[in-house]
């Protein structure tokens, strides 16, 4: 977890990202607002297809937002073009989910990491080589392996190469898009520990996207929960796990095994009915109502308002209106 200052680094306002699929509109991210403080890790969780990766990519402008704003260090980056956008890109990077697909198999590790240095004109010649070797040692890889190809490395090592590539331009903010889900469990903790050490050392700010709630609790200062393109809850990590307010968060947390057999026996598993509805055609009102054990008539009629129920604890649910 980061050393947080209460200084906002990123503010996301009413962000939407819709895709046209056939004749229909897929509302992948549907009006979400939140902030990320400098030096903190914001975890974003939810089932597959809830829009969390799309949200991360839209914040970085890898996808153009359909509506809404992203304010980075006080500047609205949703409208930047050309050289301004390129300069902004240095501050914001991404670590991808699949370390097998995200590295070009025809490029050496040195060129994969050096590509960003070339694009931004940060180093050439001997200086470039030294910088790449420095980045390799930073992520605990052998700097002598600069001329090897991705297939010569294991999954965990490839993910470290991906991290070195993201760090090459000295960003302030990194979106970690499920960076450990493709890795063996034994390697996952190593990669998470590396991310934490780098955060301490370089004052990085992370948006850590995952569906594994236990890992998110371990790395995040605050956690946001998404369901079908919407944010349903956001709170400090400890608070969210101790006292989840939204029925969806309660169900997600009830599925995590607790190592204490006494507690585990008394605990109620909340099993959600049915499948996640299609984001092409989400339910009216609250998107979660079709699977919610506490759904009421107004849940179908009206969309719940996103509001701060307790200090720093936000949710969108009619139970708290």
Q: pLDDT for 64-123, tens place per residue? A: 999 999 999 999 998 888 889 888 889 999 999 887 888 999 999 999 999 989 988 888
- Asked if the structure places residue 188 within a domain, the reply is yes
- Across 144-166, average pLDDT: 94
Rg (CA), the chain: 21
Mean pLDDT of 2-28: 88
Q: Quickly state the pLDDT bin for 11 (edges 50, 70, 90).
A: very high
Average per-residue pLDDT for the chain: 91
Is 5's pLDDT higher than 70? no
Q: Is the pLDDT of residue 41 over 90?
A: yes
**Model pLDDT for residues 227-286, shown as the tens digit of each residue:** 999 999 999 999 999 999 999 999 988 877 777 777 667 777 787 878 888 888 899 999
pLDDT band at 6 (very low <50, low <70, confident <90, very high): confident
Residue 227 is inside which H or E element, if any? strand 222-227
pLDDT at 4 over 70: no
Does some domain include residue 2?
no
SS3 236: strand
* pLDDT at res. 27: 93
Q: Is 242 helix (H, G, I), strand (E, B) or coil?
A: helix
pLDDT of residue 264: 65
Q: Is residue 123 part of a domain?
A: yes
Say what the pLDDT of residue 168 is.
Answer: 94
List strand residue ranges (DSSP E) for 5-120, in order: 8-21, 24-37, 41-45, 67-72, 75-76, 92-95
Residue 42 corresponds to which tokens in the numbers above?
């914001």
Query: For the chain, what is the domain count?
Result: 1
The verdict on residue 34 lying in a domain is yes
> What is the domain-level CATH number for residue 174?
3.40.50.300
pLDDT value, residue 71 = 95
Q: Please tell me the predicted confidence (pLDDT) of residue 262.
A: 74
pLDDT tens track for 158-200: 999 999 999 999 999 999 999 888 888 889 889 999 999 999 9
Q: What is the pLDDT of residue 3?
A: 54
Q: Which residues contact 37 (CB under 8 A, 6 or more apart)?
A: 4, 5, 6, 7, 8, 9, 205, 221
161 assigned to some structural domain: yes
pLDDT value at 214 more than 90? no
Round to whole Å and give the CA distance between 25 and 239: 36
* Closest-CA residue to 17 (of 61, 69, 55, 53): 55
Higher pLDDT, 222 or 279: 222
Query: Whole-angstrom Cα distance, residue 73 to residue 6?
Result: 13
Whether residue 272 lies inside any domain: the answer is yes
Residue 93 included in any domain = yes
Full domain range(s) for residue 26:
8-320
Output the pLDDT for position 213. Answer: 83
- Residue 1 forms part of a structural domain: no
């Amino acid at each position: 977890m980061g050393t947080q200052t209460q200084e906002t680094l990123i503010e996301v306002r009413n962000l939407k990202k819709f895709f046209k699929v056939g004749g229909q509109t897929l509302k992948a991210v549907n009006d979400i607002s939140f902030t990320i403080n400098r030096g903190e890790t914001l975890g974003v969780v939810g089932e597959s297809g809830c829009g969390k990766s799309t949200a991360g990519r839209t914040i970085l402008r890898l996808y153009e937002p359909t509506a809404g704003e992203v304010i980075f260090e006080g500047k609205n980056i949703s409208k930047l073009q050309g050289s301004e956008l390129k300069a902004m890109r240095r501050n914001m990077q991404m670590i991808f989910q699949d370390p097998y697909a995200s590295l070009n198999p025809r490029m050496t590790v040195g060129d994969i990491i050096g590509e960003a240095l070339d694009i931004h004109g940060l180093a050439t010649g001997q200086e470039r080589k030294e910088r790449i070797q420095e980045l390799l040692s930073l992520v605990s890889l052998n700097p002598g392996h600069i001329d090897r190809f991705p297939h010569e490395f294991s999954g965990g090592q490839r993910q470290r190469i991906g991290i070195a590539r993201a760090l090459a331009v000295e960003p302030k903010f990194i979106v970690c898009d499920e960076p450990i889900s493709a890795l063996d469990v034994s390697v996952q903790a190593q990669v998470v520990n590396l991310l934490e050490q780098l955060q301490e050392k370089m004052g990085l700010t992370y948006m850590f996207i995952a569906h594994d709630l236990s890992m998110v609790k371990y790395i995040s200062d605050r956690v946001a929960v998404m369901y079908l393109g919407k944010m349903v809850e956001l709170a400090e990590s400890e608070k969210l796990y101790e006292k989840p307010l939204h029925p969806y968060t309660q169900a997600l947390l009830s599925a995590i095994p607790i190592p204490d057999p006494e507690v585990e026996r008394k605990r109620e598993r909340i099993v959600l009915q049915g499948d996640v509805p299609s984001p092409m055609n989400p339910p009216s009102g609250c998107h979660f109502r079709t699977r919610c054990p506490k759904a009421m008539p107004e849940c179908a009629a009206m969309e719940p308002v996103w509001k701060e129920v307790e200090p720093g604890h936000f949710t969108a649910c009619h139970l708290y209106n």
